[in-house]
Chain A
Amino acid sequence: MAPVATAIEEQRKTDETALITGSEAIAVACKLADVDVITAYPIRPYDTVMQYVAKLVANGEMDCEYIVAEGEHSQFEIVKHASACGARVFCGSSGVGWMYAMEALTVTPALRIPMVVMVGNRALDDPGAFGVEHNDALAVRDLGWQLVWVDNAQEALDTALIAYRVAEDRRIFLPCAISCDGAFLTHSQALVKIPSQEKVNEFLPRYNRADLLLHPDNPITVAPQANEDWVMEIRRQNYAAMERTFGVIKEAYADFERILGRSYGNPFFEEYQTDDADVVLMGMGTLSTPVKVAIRQMRKQGKKVGFVRMRWFRPFAAEDLAKSLGRFSAVGVIDRDYSFGSPYLGGVLAGEVRHALYPSPGKRPPVLGFICGLGGREVTVPDVERMTDSVYKAAEGKVQPLTQWIGLRE
């Protein structure tokens, strides 16, 4: 076991660096993970990942069955069945494509089928919009999917490898969706360190379906008709698997750091300039970029603002988060999604954060919700400053709407 410092040194020497997009980074992860079956169907912006994979397959750099399905429902059903037979699989979609696959998305975690997929987050129709919104991936939040949001191409590659490790862990066997904001991440290039195949092999064991393998040597009946006799016990097993993800995710990040030499600190959420912060903003995905820029500017004006970026939305590290948020005098949650008619008419993340805080034994700061950046609209630095002002007012106890739409035309 190499100490972390040496591993980092080593990685600097062995890793090659490439200028690639978030989609390409995930395609590279698929290659490194030696994925067996991949299914594609066109929808922007996620489909770029499948274009990169297709090139890898065509050039003989990757050996897998690459199937272009006739719709997303089939796309996800095909890999579900391939995974049941022990194949490592990759899939993905965006917006209404993800929703078209909904039945398959429902049964996959229910069946304890591991798979890693990429959601190129996109606004749902109608009206048509290519830009990012998080409602697509969030639609499966109650079903047993692990959901993680990344904000740069390096994190996309690394998280994909970690996701395979966690999803295919026998203690878990649940699918994992990696959300990449449409355009802002799927299509923007950045310098990415590509780990060596040997390191990846050491980190990521082969997928072993073991006693659940569908094969003539193991003639089991999968997904029988259980009815009220057993469904509740089976649901409880899924609940327990999801509960175990906390520990398995932590293990995977620790091994990732040890073997591949890159550390992500707390796997579940990233904290930026929170040590001395009075108030914090929260959000998921690439809105971290304008928020961090704004924070640096505001700090020059003496405003002690921090940022908490949720990575893992499922599992949701409620206790850790509540503990962390207890340090601040107010929290502003930026949702790139909507949940019409929900409590306080807020976004999905705001609701979860309030939920996480309510039973907390510690301090419970007021939580403001912001709906911002829908349909791919840019979240600007002035937007962030405006939200911060509201959060400061909340900290002072000023009454204002609990949900505010930001960057909206008057």
Chain B
Amino acid sequence: MATYVQIDPTQKLDPFKAVKKIPLEEFFTSGHRTCQGCESSLVMKTMAKAAGPRTIILGSTGCMYVANTTYYSTSWVIPWMHTQLGSSGSAALGTAAALKALMRKGKIKNEPINVIAFCGDGGGADMGVGAISATLTHPDYNLLILMYDNESYANTDIQLSGSTPWGAHTTFSPPGKVKRIMHHRWKKNMAGMMAVGHPTCRYVATMCMSYALAGMNAIRKALSIGGPTFIHSLDPCPKGWDYDPYLSHEMGELAVNTGVWPLYEVEDGVLRLTGRTQQLAAGKIKRQPVRNYLLKQGRFAHFTNDDIDYFQSKVDEMWNKWLVPGVIPFRKEVEADNPPA
């Protein structure tokens, strides 16, 4: 009768060596109705591919629920279940706990089954952060929570969330005659927070679909390592960010190359910057100005030069002043903060 902490074996999912080595079989197929150029739906597709058929997926309310599971035309080939907006943590935990108990007691076949719960930034960084945090403290269940971050409550018409960048125009933060900047909160540092606050969580990573192979391999590592794990994906959203859908891939690259979106993984407490971010930090390539990223998006169209400079100064701070650049915003000394009037 094993009621002590015991991690069950996981599937061993080796990294895909190259794009051409990725299996052709799809587990997230036709039937969905996301916008053209939707990077979050690409996350769904690659996540399912990376995990493979012996997987259960739980999905929080949001675009990736509403647009993907129209009754009678679900796009999911693998088992999928809706969970409430703030419940991704609990959904993963309950599913993993059931599998563990039923396998231990011989009520179902004992085999490693991947458990993935996904949530949007609204469901994850706002409403569900408590449940995600709690789940990441449970050492005895194998599960992955993947937060797809399109930087707004997209499904309900693009409202600002705790993960929306400073100054962005959303339907709850329209630039007005008196207030140009309605949203003056800074984006929550979810991945960093999860990595720093949860010693039992063995793997935290950030990803972006512009680097899909790396993202899939992060998912495979998260599912193989055992215990609770967390991945934060930045997903350009043509509708919410207001740009032409053909630019989605480029938008993700710009987010990384301007230093706005750092790519990294924290494995058993060891931090490793990855991909282009590693090269940026090592000075091998130069960070592009955030202007190149911001001005391509309608949600920042109301920005003045002062606003852009301020945004740039915050990103510079993240790379030059943070004790762990790009990841953890501790500083050696107090910095002045001077947002534009």
Give A residues with C-beta under 8 Å from B: 34, 36-37, 39, 57-58, 60, 63-67, 69-71, 73-74, 77-87, 103-104, 107, 206, 214-216, 218-227, 229-230
Contacts and interface: CB of A to CB of B under 8 A. Distances in A.
Nearest to B94: A81
Given A77-B94, A219-B76, A221-B74, 9 more contacts: A65-B98, A81-B83, A85-B98, A104-B87, A221-B80, A222-B80, A225-B66, A225-B71, A229-B71
Contacts of A39: 94
Interface in B120-166: 130-131, 133-134, 138
Interface in B52-87: 53-56, 58, 65-66, 69-72, 74, 76-84, 86-87
Contact of B1 (A63, A65, A83, A220): A63
Given A60-B1, A74-B134, A87-B102, A225 B69 contact: yes
Nearest to B93: A78
A37 B130 CA distance: 21
B97 A65 contact: yes
Contacts of B113: 215-216
Given A78-B93, A86-B98, A216 B3 contact: no
A195 B91 CA distance: 34
A291 B69 CA distance: 54
Given A64-B101, A86-B98, A81 B81 contact: yes
Contacts of A214: 56, 79, 81, 95
B20 interface: no
A73 B97 contact: no
Contacts of A87: 97-98, 101-102
Contact of A74 (B56, B87, B102): B87
A218 B78 CA distance: 8
B3 A60 contact: yes
A272 B325 CA distance: 75
B98 A82 contact: yes
Interface in B25-59: 53-56, 58
B79, B105, B138: which has the most chain A beta carbons within 10 Å?
Answer: B79
B131 A224 contact: no
Contacts of B184: none
B70 A37 contact: no
Contacts of B78: 216, 219
B97 A82 contact: yes
User: Which of B54, B74, B97, B130 has most chain A Cβ within 10 Å?
Assistant: B97
B89 interface: yes
Contacts of B66: 225
A387 to B, nearest CB: 43
A70 B87 CA distance: 12
Contact of A224 (B74, B107, B134): B74
B3 A219 contact: no
Contacts of A82: 94-95, 97-98, 101
B273 interface: no
Contacts of B202: none
Given A86-B98, A215-B56, A63 B71 contact: no
Contact of B134 (A64, A70, A229): A70
B90 A81 contact: yes
Given A37-B94, A225-B71, A219 B79 contact: yes
Given A36-B107, A69-B134, A222 B82 contact: yes
Given A36-B107, A60-B1, A206-B107, A73 B131 contact: yes
B181 interface: no
Contact of B105 (A63, A70, A85, A227): A63
Interface string B246-266: 000000000000000000000
Contacts of A225: 65-66, 69-71
A74 B98 contact: no
B140 to A, nearest CB: 8
Given A103-B84, A221-B74, A36 B79 contact: no
Contacts of B72: 224
Contacts of B295: none
Contacts of A79: 94
B104 interface: yes
A103 B60 CA distance: 13
A93 to B, nearest CB: 15
B290 interface: no
7 contacts: A74-B131, A78-B93, A80-B94, A85-B98, A214-B95, A215-B56, A224-B82
Nearest to A234: B71
A107 B81 CA distance: 12
B205 interface: no
B324 interface: no
- Which 10 pairs show the lowest CB-CB distances between chains A and B? A81-B94, A77-B90, A87-B98, A82-B98, A223-B82, A70-B134, A78-B94, A85-B98, A221-B74, A222-B81
B81 A84 contact: yes
A293 to B, nearest CB: 44
Given A63-B104, A104-B84, A107-B84, A77 B97 contact: no
Nearest to A36: B101
Contact of B108 (A37, A215, A222): A215
Contacts of A223: 69, 81-82
A265 to B, nearest CB: 35
A81 B82 CA distance: 10
A226 B113 CA distance: 28
Nearest to B66: A225
B99 interface: yes
A183 B306 CA distance: 64
Nearest to B138: A67
B100 interface: yes
Nearest to A76: B90
B102 to A, nearest CB: 6
Contact of B87 (A73, A84, A220, A227): A73
Contacts of A81: 58, 81, 83, 90-91, 93-95, 98
A181 B292 CA distance: 64
A61 to B, nearest CB: 9
Contacts of B55: 216
Contacts of B100: 65
B81 A77 contact: no
B101 A221 contact: no
B295 to A, nearest CB: 36
Nearest to B3: A57
A74 B101 contact: no
B80 A77 contact: no
Contacts of A69: 90, 134
